Amino acid sequence: MTQYAIVTDVNRCVGCLACVNACKTVNDVPPGSFWTKTIRVGPHPKEGGSGQFPDVEMYFFTLHCQHCESPQCVSVCPTGASYKREDGTVQIDKERCIGCQFCVMACPYNVRYLNEEKKVVEKCTLCEQKIAQGELPQCVAQCGGRARYFGDLDQGIDNFEGPAPLNVACTDDTGKTKINDVSYEANLHSRAKLKDVVKPYASSDVYHLPDVGNGPSVAYILRDKKWHGGV
């Protein structure tokens, strides 16, 4: 069974908000609402440190729909407007949404909101209109730090893909491997696997948001720092 998701290498995220801006632009997200957020976590005292600068650490954390294995938002929807697709993503049928916001209240991650103008609930769709055409979600495609990767969890997160950094081996549109030294725009169509770009990590470096029986699919890689989740 396919389960599309995003993996973020938190150590590479610099908090530039490019993913937030790209998402709002391509998905026409209204002012004051967000499909993805970038949150600063910390600074927190380093383990064994004084708790004063420079013995502190922090990281940036991206929060959006977790496209859960057993989404509570789907189970509470009275009209079937919230549903899970065969590709594992959680979507909203706006023709069936009545704006009751049961799903908003059921989501343990607070990533849904009511569009006051349209009177329907909205959230991250993983850019389903793009992935249906073989493209990357916009937040992945526009990540300047190459921190975000998209793929199928059944294939393992090592095989998740993102735009290839310049001057590294990548796969072009014809499937050939070459050194990526092309322009920025052309670079968006070159792919690199997570395992070929990010620094080595252990299974203990892979984190998820708290699982309350819903099985969040989105993963985060963080090395050499204490994971505090999104707080």
Q: What is the CATH number of the domain that holds 161?
A: 3.30.70.20
Does 28 fall in a domain? yes
Kindly state whether residue 95 falls inside one of the protein's structural domains: no
In a domain, 15, yes or no: yes
Report residue 52's pLDDT band, with 50, 70 and 90 as the boundaries: confident
**What are 62's strand-pairing partners?**
38
H helix intervals, the chain: 18-27, 72-76, 102-106, 128-131, 138-141, 184-187, 194-197
Tens digits of per-residue pLDDT, 85-98?
999 999 999 999 99
Q: Domain range for residue 144?
A: 4-65+126-221
Number of domains in the chain: 1
pLDDT at position 48? 75
β-partners of residue 162 are 192
Judged against a pLDDT cut of 70, whether residue 66 lies above it is answered with yes
Residue 35 lies in a domain: yes
Is 9 a domain residue?
Answer: yes
Residue 227 lies in a domain: no
148 within domain boundaries: yes
Structural domain includes residue 93:
no
Q: What is the pLDDT of residues 146-157, one digit of tens each?
A: 999 999 999 999
